[in-house]
Copies of this chain bind each other. A is one copy, B any other.
Amino acid sequence: MEKKQQEFVTHITPKEEDFSQWYTDVILKADLVDYAPVKGCMVIKPYGYAIWENIQKELDARFKATGHKNAYFPLFIPESLLRKEAEHVEGFAPEVAWVTRGGSEELAEPLVVRPTSETIICAMYAKWVQSYRDLPILYNQWCNVVRWEKSTRPFLRTAEFLWQEGHTVHATEEEAEEETLKILGIYKEFAENVLAIPVVVGRKSEKEKFAGALRTYTMEAMMQDGKALQAGTSHNLGQHFAKVFDIQYLDKDGQLKYAWQTSWGVSTRLIGAIIMVHGDERGLVLPPKVAPVQVIIVPIAIHKEGVLDKAREVYRQIADAGIRVEIDDRDTQTPGWKFNEWELKGVPVRLEIGPKDIEKNQVVLVRRDNFEKVAVPMDNVVQAINHMLVEVHKGIYDKALKMRENFTHVARNFDEFKEAIEVKKGFVKAMWCGERECEDNIKAETGATTRCIPFEQEHIDDHCVYCGRLAKHMVYFARAY
């Protein structure tokens, strides 16, 4: 037998010391990603990709259950298409990658690598939509997109990332608005019930809305360093694209009408949110519903007769119940070393089984989130694990909610506002006059942006926190990723 590696050295920078370095340490050491030899691009390693697969599975089922279908549109968009919608091109042209050569030929018209697919999809919808009978169109695609970002961070902002983008067409404004809000509802339910991340939902300001949209809705999450993260957006595109792409349908009344559209998306950025909302000093803490491994079995005294056999028997029982379980049967590491490694990787439940447990016909379960330990009779193990997975989800959701509450402040005047943003950090709820000028000034002076105008409005004051004019909305402000 080889000498076991006794010491597990994670070298994770403490969160309080340097949150950004903590994040980088965790994603690399938990083996989620690696840096690629292409500027601003990441390699998503199997452990990270498996989280994305689980996210896809959960969301895809929700989209399909609400009548959406998947399709696939081209990666390349001719420059002329991108340029059709004025606001859209202004928003995206500065950050796209350009294909100018194919094989050995210079292209007559450069192609853009899609930063988002409204324009190429609208070109098709113009062809497909003729009559009211063709509506609604409810399509989604899972794909890669590219945005030529100057400063990048794995999952949070990369030159290439993976996402889903839904694109729908409707006969009326009401239907488009209903779809936009329905999807936002799905996103919120998914964030809370699957990722265990509480979110604030509301509308983006004109400044912060999607380039080309009529209205953008968003869900915003709070990270442990007091910065907000936009976790998903749903846009009512109005008739902006329909008018420039000529998407018209013949209505029942014999009139030719412009269609109404929506688009909406979430991306691999959600993995960044999971890390920054739930992670702790030992590493990742994964929400059970998307954890690639939900239960890790660590046999104790692995060479004692019967231990490994019994561990494998328990493994089989758990796997057969549809729980994602692995057994760490390496004989090159001590149990303690393994505990540390699987904690770093955020596995929600650890199952220990050793000679004493076998004697007592039990196993020991340990929760990743609060390290609570419980001995469970062998014939109750599946039920106990299922219960613990639910408890872990609740535990980390409640913790995240409390964290967000501690990071949510009310500002009645600009001094309070600045103190909240700069010292306390997090969300600041404050009144706003609705003018772009105030929004710009607040950002220039504090670095905080309007995250959203929440659906749940509160009356904090009559006046704008910056200019003192009559207030229109209560807004969540924050510094953000």
Within 8 A of B (CB), among A27-53: 34, 36-38, 41-46, 49-50, 52-53
Contact B101 A97 (CB under 8 A): yes
Q: Are B101 and A41 in contact (CB under 8 A)?
A: no
| Residue numbers in B under 8 Å from A50 (CB-CB) | 69-70
User: Would you call A49 and B71 a contact (CB within 8 A)?
Assistant: yes
Q: Does A100 contact B (CB under 8 A)?
A: yes
Judged by a CB distance under 8 angstroms, whether A151 is at the interface is: no
Does A469 sit within 8 A of B, measured CB to CB?
no
Tell me, yes or no, whether A72 is within 8 Å of chain B by CB. Answer: yes
Specify which chain B residues have a CB less than 8 angstroms from the CB of A120 in the assembled complex. Answer: 36-38
Q: Convert A65-83 into 0s and 1s, putting 1 for each residue whose CB lies closer than 8 angstroms to a CB of B.
A: 0000111111111100100
Instruction: Check: A103 CB closer than 8 A to any chain B CB.
Output: yes
A37 to B148, CA, bound (A): 23
Whether A75 contacts B37 by the Cβ 8 Å rule is no
Measured between alpha carbons, how far is A274 from B78 in the docked complex, in Å?
31
A144 adjacent to chain B (CB < 8 Å): yes
Task: Report if A104 contacts B (CB, 8 A).
Answer: yes
Given contacts A101-B100, A139-B46, contact A37 B72 (CB under 8 A): no
**How many copies of this kind of chain does the complex include?**
2
> In whole angstroms, what is the CA distance A72 to B45 when docked?
7
B95 touches A69 (CB 8 A): no
Interface string of A141-179 (1 = CB under 8 A from B): 001101010000000000110100000000000000000
Find residues 410-443 in chain A having any chain B CB closer than 8 Å to their own CB: none
Q: A98-B102, A113-B99 are in contact. Are A76 and B41 (CB under 8 A)?
A: yes
A159 to B99 Cα, complex, angstroms: 13
> Does A314 sit within 8 A of B, measured CB to CB?
no
**At the interface, yes or no: A470 with Cβ under 8 Å from chain B?**
no
Contacting residues, chain B, for A73 (C-beta < 8 A): 36, 43
B44 and A71 contacting across the interface, CB-CB below 8 Å: yes
B72 touches A43 (CB 8 A): yes
Any B CB within 8 A of the CB of A89: no
Contact pick for A144, options B71, B96, B144, CB 8 Å:
B144
Contacts of A102 in B (CB 8 A): 96-98, 148, 159
In the complex, A366 has a CB within 8 A of chain B: no
Residue A374 CB within 8 A of the other chain: no
Query: CB-CB < 8 A to A75: which residues of B?
Result: 41, 113, 144, 146, 160
A44–B124 Cα gap in the complex (Å)?
Answer: 11
In the complex, how many angstroms separate the beta carbon of A386 from the nearest chain B beta carbon?
23
A123 at the interface (CB under 8 A from B): yes
A360 CB-CB contact with B under 8 Å: no
Report how far A49 CA is from B96 CA in the complex, Å. 27
Q: Does A111 contact B (CB under 8 A)?
A: yes
Nearest residue, chain B, Cβ from A332: B133
Would you give the shortest CB distance from A316 to chain B, in whole angstroms? 16
Question: Which B residues are in CB contact (< 8 Å) with A111?
Answer: 38, 97
* Complex A-B, nearest 5 residue pairs according to Cβ-Cβ distance, in ascending order: A46-B69, A98-B101, A41-B74, A44-B72, A102-B148
11 more A-B residue pairs beyond the given contacts A38-B76, A43-B124, A95-B103, with a C-beta to C-beta distance below 8 A: A34-B124, A45-B71, A46-B69, A74-B160, A76-B159, A76-B160, A98-B100, A98-B101, A99-B99, A99-B113, A102-B159
Listed by A's residue number, 25 A-B pairs whose Cβ atoms lie within 8 Å are A34-B127, A36-B120, A37-B78, A37-B123, A38-B77, A38-B120, A41-B75, A43-B71, A43-B124, A44-B72, A46-B71, A46-B139, A49-B71, A50-B69, A72-B162, A75-B113, A76-B97, A97-B101, A98-B100, A98-B102, A99-B100, A99-B113, A100-B101, A102-B148, A143-B144
